């Protein structure tokens, strides 16, 4: 088993050395750290390709953050899943998530759920015009925290509160806020479910209830 590291920067404002230092701090040797520096439209990721060619079964690839491994969430999950199928684990220092051991498959499912949530958010923003507004420099709230997104996905899948809190580090209060939010979404979905009568008339469930009273 070998510890391998991967670091990537995509802008001139980011420091590759900071990521490398974090990898060394957890025991990754200099000769086992692979790096990529994106410039302009160039995104060959030769360092990543060398890393994936070098990695063998039972090795562990360490990254400082999830967004350093892939171009986007879907790309990152594709890499994680491909490595998992080869017996290669991936560990992220920022949030402590790892595909090592018996929890590995569940972690991949969590990441997939997060990716689905991300796609849904993008679609929603496109539909309501937020993408255009953001391009004009308008900001909408603060960026969602990765741990909260993961916790949200876990709770939505029905994972117990103990496992959610142990794997994400969220507080008891945050867990119940997310739980309440999810329950509210479910209730709203049930409340707004359309009812069809004789296949001709469609009405909101609230209106239908009023007509029966």
**55-108 confidence digits (pLDDT tens):** 999 999 999 988 888 877 778 888 998 999 999 999 999 878 888 887 787 887
141 phi-psi bin (left φ>0, alpha ψ -120 to 50, beta other): left
Task: Let me know if residue 14 belongs to a domain.
Answer: yes
**What are the tokens at 159?**
């994972």
Q: What is the average pLDDT across 15-44?
A: 85
Enclosing domain of residue 130: 106-191
**Domain for residue 211, yes or no?**
no
- pTM for this entry: 0.58
Choosing from 10, 98, 160, 171, the catalytic residue is 10
Give dist(CA 118, CA 149) in Å, integer: 9
The answer as to whether 110 is a domain residue is: yes
- Is 10 annotated as catalytic? yes
Same domain, 89 and 172: no
Higher pLDDT among residues 10 and 141, named by residue:
10
Same domain, 48 and 129: no
Residue 130, judged by CB atoms within 10 A of its CB (0-12, 13-18, 19+), counts as middle
Residue 201 lies in a domain: no
Name beta bridge partners: 203. Answer: 195
- pLDDT of 132 strictly over 50: yes
**112 and 95, same structural domain?**
no
Span of 68-72, 77-81, 187-191, 203-207 with lowest mean pLDDT: 203-207
Pair 43, 94: CB distance under 8 Å: no
Band the pLDDT of 29: cuts 50, 70, 90: very high
Final residue in a domain of this structure, among 49, 71, 99? 99
Q: Give how many domains the chain has, as a whole number.
A: 2
Residue 197, domain member (yes or no): no
Residues 83 and 125 in one domain: no
**CATH number, domain containing residue 12:** 3.40.50.1390
Strands 201-203 and 195-197: antiparallel
* Residue 16 forms part of a structural domain: yes
Domain-embedded: residue 150: yes
- Is 22 in the same domain as 87? yes
Calpha distance 4→60 (Å, rounded): 6
210 is a domain residue? no
């Amino acid at each position: 088993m070998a510890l391998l590291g991967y670091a990537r920067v995509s802008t001139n404002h980011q420091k590759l050395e900071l990521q490398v230092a974090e990898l060394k701090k957890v025991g990754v040797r200099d000769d086992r750290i692979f790096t990529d520096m994106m410039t302009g439209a160039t995104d060959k990721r030769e360092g990543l390709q060398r890393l994936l060619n070098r990695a063998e079964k039972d090795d562990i690839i360490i990254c400082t953050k999830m967004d350093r491994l892939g171009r986007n969430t879907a790309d990152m999950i594709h890499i994680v899943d491909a490595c998992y199928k080869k017996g290669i684990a991936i560990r992220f220092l920022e949030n402590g998530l790892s595909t090592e051991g018996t929890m590995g498959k569940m972690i991949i499912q969590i990441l997939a759920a997060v990716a689905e949530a991300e796609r849904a958010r993008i679609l929603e923003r496109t539909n309501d015009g937020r993408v255009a507004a953001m391009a004009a420099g308008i900001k909408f709230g603060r960026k969602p925290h990765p741990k909260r997104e993961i916790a949200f996905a876990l709770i939505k899948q029905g994972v117990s509160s103990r496992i959610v809190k142990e794997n994400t580090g969220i507080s008891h209060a945050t867990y119940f806020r997310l739980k309440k939010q999810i329950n509210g979404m479910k209730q709203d979905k049930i409340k707004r479910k359309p009812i069809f009568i004789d296949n001709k008339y469609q009405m909101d469930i609230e209106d239908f209830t009023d007509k029966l009273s």
